Structure 1
Amino acid sequence: MALNSRQRWTPADIPDQRGRTAVITGANRGLGFETAKLLAEHGATVVLACRNADNAAHAAARITASVPNATVRTLRLDLGSLASIRHAADRLRADHPRLDLLINNAGGVRPRYALTEDGFESTVATNHLGPFAFTGLILDRLLTVPGSRIVTVSSIGHRRGTINLDDLHFARGYRYQHAYFQSKLANLMFTYELQRRLAAAGAPTIAVAAHPGNARTQFGREMPVWVRIGMRPELAMLTWWLMQSPQKGALAAVRASVDPDAHGGDYYGPPGRAQFTGYPTRVESAARSHDTTTQHRLWQESERLTGVTYTVGRSLSPQNRS
């Protein structure tokens, strides 16, 4: 699809999404909400998969108030709980025999060390292991749909990440920045490994990644005060060169989801050396994200920890060992 006359990929470039069903995790606010709203405005049925059911219902009401003919569903999903993930996947599979889009948008970081009920460090659980498990458990609903996509939202912070498979849960010492950067690098490694497996099986589904640049959202609400101050919308006139609106930040994931020229393994985000702000285009991820040995080892460890094994090919259903 050709870009518009300003050579910028904007909401005007989103093709008709009628007949498509998109599941967006963490869609009750911020980037996820804006992503869901844009897709609903262009005709997609959107499923808001959120940890808090009341917040999801409120977000759905906001979308339908803005887009009266929108079809919006909600799904309770806590990516920090394997039990919740399995329950949500079962419900989604029961309600939707086919899916066109899964957008793994939900993410977070804890300023203090915490473990989930499954014994996982909370950041790696919410940002990587949870999406890994949820994607695997609903994969068969995508694999039967030509043109379906799995989009995972990473971050420019992945450049500072490393994957420590010997201490994935930071039992030897926790720094929230390192946990977040590791999880965002894991998002890209997951995308690239998944795409390789899908392509090898000749699947009609592709895996694509995106990042929003520096978007001004509520993401930093639990962070130190200097982070929270930088996120405040009233400072937009002072930080326009460093941060952009959630509406603009969401465009990267939307382009990864709908651009007919996208290919499996593509990575979309703001352009430029820093990739902080701007309209989305194809960008390059850090060299370490393309380390196929670590990708494979991370995949194996993710299967072991979550109990979810992907089967792509003749058998389209994931196997759940637990």
Structure 2
Amino acid sequence: MSSATPHHAWDVHRLPSAEGKNFLVTGGNAGIGYFVAEQLAATGALVVLGSRDPARADAALASLRSRVPGARVRHLRLDVAALSSLKAAVDALDLGHLDAVVHNAGVALDDPPRRETVDGHEMMFGTNHLGHFALTRHLAHLLSAAPAGRVVTTGSFAARSERLDLDDLESTRDYRPKRTYGRSKLAQMSFGFALDRRLRAVGSTVLSVVAHPGGALDPLTPPRPPMTASTPGQRLRALPAGLLVQGKDAGAWPTVRAVLDPEVRGGELWGPRFFGLRGTPRREPVPAHMADPEVAARLWDASCALTGSDPHLGFSGDR
């Protein structure tokens, strides 16, 4: 940006109006996704919660409406782990354009057994990465129809210490839950950066941005019963951790800024200000292993093969 551009102060508690805009948040019924939806709803935008569980979505919608009077929110039945269901889900959006999709839904498995999606993909890689990769293709026409559409991918601090095994993306030979989770988030983030490079190459108006929440703990999160309600004892025990990490409401700030801030550019990484773990959102340097073009190209080709997606993903001009 030119040095003549005026400084733009961002206040996480005074977000700009987004009236007339449409946002989709996958996994918006719980955790960080819920707080992303709550903060976006306060801007006057239509916020669609993508969730596979109608009961949990209803609870989230009730909470949103109680916290944000006049909130324009609704639920979309969406299971990113079921690839064959994605087109019908997008058709059910019934929108003329989509200003941003937040790729937030995800799973983290602590139990040793390896699990698979209905399509036979390892659960974390299949949900966190492949599902969002395929969903992007189905949303391409709606994002391209917006004046300045955005794909915002929610990554994880856990991806920093991982490297992709391109010969074992689905952990069929060596499955360790924490490592597999970190690699699935690294795949998501690598996709987010690679997508923006491809969009810029064809002159698309759509941007792809990556954000991460840093360290975000439930006991440090404001209660939103029945979704989030830690006990007094849990909150008390978590207080020392608050020096280094934060609640999920604050963990949503980098993603919300990546959606709303007109000064955000494609290919950027946003996270918490202090050590990437807590604080207000700032732009971070992109780690080299997340933006490696050779790794990204091989991951892209593998993702197309595993999801049956066209390599161009259908964005305007991407032909």
What TM-score results when the alignment is normalised by the length of structure 2? 0.89
Letter in 2 for 1:157: A
**2: CA distance between counterparts of 1:64 and 1:53?**
16
Q: Are 2:71 and 1:48 aligned?
A: no
Q: Are 2:15 and 1:10 aligned?
A: no
Aligned counterpart, 2:98: 99
Residues 236 and 243 in structure 1, CA contact (< 8 A), matched pair in contact too: no
Residues 57-76 of structure 1: CA deviation (Å, up to 9, x unaligned) = 11111111222211111011
- Unaligned 5+ residue runs, structure 2? 1-5, 220-229
3-state SS of paired residue (2:277): coil
Runs of 4 or more consecutive aligned structure 1 residues displaced over 2 Å after TM superposition: 1-4, 83-87, 231-236, 311-316
Residues 121-175 of structure 1: CA deviation (Å, up to 9, x unaligned) = 0000111000111111111101121121110000111111211121111111210
Letter in 2 for 1:311: G
Percent same amino acid among aligned pairs?
36
Residues 25 and 104 in structure 2, CA contact (< 8 A), matched pair in contact too: yes
Q: Given the alignment, which residue of 246, 249, 253 partners 2:248?
A: 246
Residues 159 and 285 in structure 1, CA contact (< 8 A), matched pair in contact too: no
Distance 1:84 1:175, change over 3 A: same
Q: Are 2:182 and 1:201 aligned?
A: no
Q: Give, in angstroms, the shift of residue 232 of structure 1.
A: 4.3
Distance 1:277 1:314, change over 3 A: closer
Q: Residues 27-46 of structure 1: matches in 2 within 5 Å?
A: 27-46=28-47
Letter in 1 for 2:97: R
**1: CA distance between counterparts of 2:316 and 2:259?**
23
Letter in 2 for 1:134: L
Letter in 1 for 2:266: G
Residues 196-219 of structure 1: CA deviation (Å, up to 9, x unaligned) = 11111111110001000100139x
Aligned counterpart, 1:179: 180
Q: Give, in angstroms, the shift of residue 253 of structure 1.
A: 0.1
Aligned counterpart, 1:300: 301
Aligned counterpart, 1:277: 278
Q: Are 2:314 and 1:311 aligned?
A: yes
Letter in 1 for 2:217: R
Q: Give, in angstroms, the shift of residue 187 of structure 1.
A: 1.5
Aligned counterpart, 2:262: 260
Residues 170-204 of structure 1: CA deviation (Å, up to 9, x unaligned) = 11121011111111111221111110111111111
Aligned counterpart, 2:134: 133
Residues 158 and 182 in structure 1, CA contact (< 8 A), matched pair in contact too: yes
Q: Give, in angstroms, the shift of residue 314 of structure 1.
A: 4.1
**1: CA distance between counterparts of 2:236 and 2:135?**
37
Letter in 1 for 2:41: A
Letter in 1 for 2:50: A
Residues 270 and 278 in structure 1, CA contact (< 8 A), matched pair in contact too: yes
Aligned counterpart, 2:170: 169
**1: CA distance between counterparts of 2:288 and 2:266?**
18
Distance 1:246 1:21, change over 3 A: same
Letter in 2 for 1:301: A
Q: Give, in angstroms, the shift of residue 242 of structure 1.
A: 2.5
Residues 24 and 104 in structure 1, CA contact (< 8 A), matched pair in contact too: yes
**2: CA distance between counterparts of 1:45 and 1:79?**
21
Q: Are 2:239 and 1:237 aligned?
A: yes
Give the total of aligned pairs. 299
Aligned counterpart, 2:20: 19
What TM-score results when the alignment is normalised by the length of structure 1? 0.88
3-state SS of paired residue (2:165): coil
- Unaligned 5+ residue runs, structure 1? 219-227, 317-322
**1: CA distance between counterparts of 2:252 and 2:11?**
12
Residues 21-55 of structure 1: CA deviation (Å, up to 9, x unaligned) = 00001111111111111111110100000121111
**1: CA distance between counterparts of 2:305 and 2:202?**
22
Residues 75-117 of structure 1: CA deviation (Å, up to 9, x unaligned) = 111121112323312212xx11211010001112112310111
3-state SS of paired residue (1:285): coil
**1: CA distance between counterparts of 2:239 and 2:257?**
26
3-state SS of paired residue (1:47): strand
